[in-house]
A = this chain, B = another copy of it.
Amino acid sequence: MSPKELDTPCVLIDLDRVETNIKRLQGYLDAHRIANRPHIKTHKLPQIARMQVDAGAVGITCQKLGEAEVMADTGFDDILITYNILGESKLHRLTQLAKRIRLCVSADSDVTIHGLSQACASAGTEVGVMIEFESGKQRCGVQTPEEAVTLARLITSQPGLRFEGLLTYPTTEHTVPFVDKTRALLKTEGIEIPCVSGGGTPRMWDAHRWKGVTEHRAGTYVYGDRKTVSTGAMMFDEVAMHVLTTVVSRPTADRGILDAGSKVFSSDTLDLDGFGYILEYPEARIYGQSEEHGHVDFSRCSVKPKVGEKVTVIPNHACVVTNLVNEVVCLKNGKVYEVWPVAARGLVR
Contacts and interface: CB of A to CB of B under 8 A. Distances in A.
Interface of A: 7-10, 41, 63-64, 83-84, 86-87, 89-90, 108-109, 111-112, 115, 134, 138-143, 246, 248-252, 255, 257, 259-260, 262-264, 266-269, 288, 290-293, 295, 306-308, 319-320, 323-326, 346, 348-349
Identical chains bound together, number: 2
Contact of A348 (B264, B320, B349): B264
A295 B264 contact: no
A262 B251 contact: no
Contact of A63 (B250, B251, B292, B346): B292
A348 B83 CA distance: 30
Nearest to A253: B143
Given A111-B307, A323-B263, A248 B86 contact: yes
Interface of A is mostly: loop
A89 B10 CA distance: 13
A75 to B, nearest CB: 24
A249 B292 CA distance: 35
Contact of A295 (B64, B139, B251): B139
Contacts of A291: 41, 63, 319-320, 323
Given A84-B249, A308-B111, A295 B138 contact: yes
Nearest to A110: B307
B290 A139 contact: yes
A303 to B, nearest CB: 17
15 contacts: A7-B349, A41-B291, A83-B259, A87-B246, A109-B249, A111-B307, A139-B251, A139-B290, A139-B293, A140-B293, A262-B320, A263-B320, A267-B267, A267-B269, A323-B324
A232 to B, nearest CB: 22
| Ranked 4 nearest A-B pairs via Cβ | A267-B267, A140-B249, A7-B89, A111-B307
Contact of A112 (B64, B293, B307, B326): B307
